């Protein structure tokens, strides 16, 4: 019984570490996309979002 609990604990810790690694990659990709969008909006025709008619 103790071995099963230990195995489950190891699997949970490994899964948590894998999930955290994936979240770091997702955060890095979103940061790159946000910076690219900010640069494109600043270079292109900015002000379209905030223009009033």
Helix/strand/coil for 39: helix
For the stretch 1-53, pLDDT in tens is 888 998 898 888 888 888 888 899 999 999 999 988 888 877 655 555 555 66
The Cα angle at residue 35 between residues 33 and 40, in degrees rounded to 5: 95
* pTM score: 0.55
pLDDT at residue 32, rounded to an integer: 92
């Amino acid at each position: 019984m103790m071995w099963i609990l230990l195995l489950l604990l190891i699997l949970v810790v490994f899964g948590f570490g894998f999930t955290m690694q994936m979240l770091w990659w997702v955060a890095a990709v979103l940061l790159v996309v946000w910076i690219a969008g900010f640069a494109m909006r600043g270079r292109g025709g900015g002000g379209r979002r905030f223009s009033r008619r």
